[in-house]
Structure 1
Amino acid sequence: MSQLLLQTAGPASAPSGPVRRRWRGAFADPGLLAGAVIIGVVVAAALLAPVFAALLGHGPNEQFSDETLDAAGLPITGGNGFLLGADGSGRDVLVRTLYGARISLAIGIPATTIAMIVGVVVGLTGGYFGGRVDAVLSEVTNVALAFPFLVTALSVVTLNRGTAGSTLVDPAVVVIGVVALFSWTYFARLVRNLVVEVKARPYVLAAIGSGASHGRILLREILPTILPTIVIYWAVQLPTNIIAEASLSYLGVGIRPPTPSWGTMIANAQDTALYQTQPWMLIAPAFALFVTVVGFNLLATRLRSRFDPTAS
C-alpha cells in the first residue's frame, strides 16, 4: 500500500511546474491584465470614496440646492465644484457614484462568498457520498432553482417591512441573503460534478484504501484539487450578483434611498427624467456598473482559460 501511495503522489504534485508557467504567462496576457486593472480601479474608487468626498466637501447624501439647481429648478451638469454635476436633490453625482461602488462590492462579495460556501458543502457531500444523499441534495438544489428570483425577492422584502415604513432587518443584509439564496445552487452543481470525477482518481482511491476518514479525504485530497475551479467560478458569479443587487435596487426592493446604489441612482434618473437635462445622472452609475461587470468578466474568463483544467 505504501508503494501505491508513493506511485500516486508523483502525478499529484507534478502540475506545479505547469501552474507556475501559467502564472508567469498570465502577466503577458493583455486581457487578464486589463481585467485586473479595471477591478483595481473600481476597488480603489470604493475605498477612496470618503477621501474624494472630503476633498470636494460633498457628502453622498448632502444637498446643495443653492449651488446646483438653476432658476428653473433643474440640476447643473458641471461646475461649482461638482465635476459631474448634481441630481435633482442637489447631491453630487460623482461622490454618489463612488459610494455606489462600495455598496455593490459590499453586497456582491459577501453574497457570492456565502453562496460559494453553501454550494461547496452541498456539492462535496452529494458528490462524495452519492446514493440517497446525492439524490436528496440534488432535489433540494432543483427546488431552489425552481423559485423565481424577482417574485421571491419581492416576497422577502414585503415580509421585512415593519410599521411606519420601517424595516425589521437591514435591507443590505436582506439583499445579501436573497442574492446568496439564488447563487449557491450553481456552485453546488459545479462542485458535485467535479467531485464525482475527482473521487475516481488513483490518489483518492489510494487514500480510501488506506482507511483515511471521509473528512480527511474531502479536505486533503478532493477539495485542494477542485479549489482553483471554485475560486475562478466565484469570480465568474460575482458580476452576476452585482447586477442582481443593482436590479433589485432599481426595482425599489433592494438598497433604499437615500443610500447611494447604482440601481437606485439609475431608477431615480429615469423616474424624474432629469437625465435629459443632466445626462450624468444616468450615465455615471450606468457606466460604472458596466465597467465593473466587464472587468470581472474579463478577468474571470482569462483566469478560467489558463488555470481551470475543466475548461474546454
Structure 2
Amino acid sequence: MTDLLLKPSVGTDNPTPVRGGKVRVLLRDPSLIAGAVIVGVVLLAALTAPVVAAVIGHGPNEQFPDETLDATGLPITGGHGFLFGADGSGRDVLIRTLYGARVSLAIGIPATTIAMLVGAVVGLTGGYFGGRLDAALSELTNIALAFPFLVTALSVVTLNRGTAGTTLVDPIVVVIGIIALFSWTYFARLVRNSVLEIKSKPFVLAAIGAGSPPWRVILREILPNIAPTIVIYWAVQLPVNIIAEASLSYLGVGIRPPTPSWGTMIANAQDTALYQSQPLMLIAPAGALFLTVLGFNVLSTALRNRFDPSVVR
C-alpha cells in the first residue's frame, strides 16, 4: 500500500507522494465531486431504467387508464403504484423519465464522440500541414458553421419521411447525424489552434528533423499533448448536444412518440395542458433535463479548471 502512494525521488531519501496526493487533491474539489455525483446519478438512472420498470411492472409505453385516470379523464398525480403519477394516456411518468435519460445519453454521447473524431482529424490535418489544405479545411468549417441548425434539421427530417408516416432511416440515427454535423466544427477549430501552438515546440521540431513521417509526428508527438484538452471539451460539448436533442424532440423533429424523450414529454405536457392538473408531467422531464445539463456542466468546468493548461489559475 505504501509503495503505491509513495515513490522515492531521485537524489533524496525522502519519499514523494505520487498517486495518493493526486487523488486527495481531486477529492478536495467540491465542484468536481458534485458534478461527478450528479452525472453518476443520471447514468445510474439510465442504466437501471429497465430494472425499475420490471420491478414496478410498468413499461415506458404501457397504458393503465383504469388506475391512473379519474372519472373526468384527468391523470392522477400519484398513488396506485405510480410515484410520479401518469400522463394523459395512462403511462407511468417516472418510468418514462428514466427511459428519457437513456435516449438523451444514447444520442448525446455518440453524437459528441463522432463530432470530436471528425473535428480532431480536420483540425490536426489543417493545423499541421497548413497552406492551401489548411485554407480549404478552414473554409469548409466556416461553411458548416453558416448553416442554420433548425432549418437544416427540419430539411433532413422532411427528406427522411417515407410513405404512410414511416421513416427511411431510424430517427435516432438522423438526430445523431444532425447534432454531430453541427458540433464537429468547434472541435476542429479548437484542435487546429492547439496544433498551431504546439507544432513549433522543440520536441516536435526535433521529431521532424529526425525524419519522422507526418503521421508519426501527429500521433506520437502532437496528439498526446492535446488529447486532454480535446477530452475536456468533449465533456463541455456533451450537455449542449443533450439540450439540442431535447429541443429537436420538443419541436417534433427529433425522437418521435411514443418513444420517451424528455423533449417530447415536455411538449406533450404543454400541448395537452394536463400539467395544470398533473404538474409532474412537466416537472419530471424538465427537472431531469436540468439536472443532467447541470451535472455535466459542473463536472466539465471542474475538469477544465484542473487539467486544461490554457486556463489561468
Aligning the two structures, in what range does the TM-score lie when normalised by the shorter sequence? Answer: over 0.9
Report the AA paired with residue 294 of structure 1.
L
Distance 1:22 1:189 in 2: 31
Matched, 1:152 2:152: yes
Distance 1:100 1:241 in 2: 15
Report the AA paired with residue 302 of structure 2.
R
Per-residue CA deviations over 1:244-263 (Å, capped at 9, x if unaligned) read: 00000000000000000000
- The aligned residue for residue 59 of structure 1 is 59
TM-score normalised per structure 1: 0.93
- The aligned residue for residue 3 of structure 2 is none
Instruction: Mark the CA change 1:19 to 1:297 in structure 2 (over 3 Å): closer, same or farther.
Output: farther
TM-score normalised per structure 2: 0.93
* Cα displacement (A) at 1:21: 5.3
- The aligned residue for residue 130 of structure 1 is 130
Would you say the 8 A contact 1:269–1:282 is kept in 2? yes
Would you say the 8 A contact 1:123–1:189 is kept in 2? yes
**Structure 2 residue ranges without an equivalent (≥5):** 1-16
- The aligned residue for residue 44 of structure 2 is 44
Distance 1:18 1:124 in 2: 32
Distance 2:116 2:23 in 1: 24
Report the AA paired with residue 215 of structure 2.
G
Distance 1:205 1:71 in 2: 78
Report the AA paired with residue 149 of structure 2.
F
Matched, 1:209 2:221: no
- The aligned residue for residue 14 of structure 2 is none
* Cα displacement (A) at 1:27: 1.6
Instruction: Mark the CA change 1:217 to 1:19 in structure 2 (over 3 Å): closer, same or farther.
Output: farther
- The aligned residue for residue 74 of structure 1 is 74
Would you say the 8 A contact 1:22–1:306 is kept in 2? no
Report the AA paired with residue 285 of structure 1.
P
Distance 1:26 1:295 in 2: 17
Distance 2:24 2:246 in 1: 36
**Structure 1 residue ranges without an equivalent (≥5):** 1-16
Distance 1:71 1:311 in 2: 60
Q: Secondary structure at the match of 2:97?
A: helix
* Cα displacement (A) at 1:287: 0.2
Q: Secondary structure at the match of 2:252?
A: coil
Distance 2:204 2:91 in 1: 59
Would you say the 8 A contact 1:22–1:307 is kept in 2? no
Give the number of aligned pairs: 296
Distance 2:196 2:298 in 1: 29
Instruction: Mark the CA change 1:69 to 1:240 in structure 2 (over 3 Å): closer, same or farther.
Output: same
Alignment RMSD? 1.2
Per-residue CA deviations over 1:157-215 (Å, capped at 9, x if unaligned) read: 00000000000000000000000000000000000000000101010000000000101
The 5-angstrom pairing of residues 5-24 of structure 1 reads 23-24=23-24
Per-residue CA deviations over 1:37-72 (Å, capped at 9, x if unaligned) read: 000000000000001101111000000000000000
Distance 1:33 1:206 in 2: 41
Q: Secondary structure at the match of 2:193?
A: helix
Distance 2:265 2:101 in 1: 12
* Cα displacement (A) at 1:24: 3.9
Q: Secondary structure at the match of 2:79?
A: coil
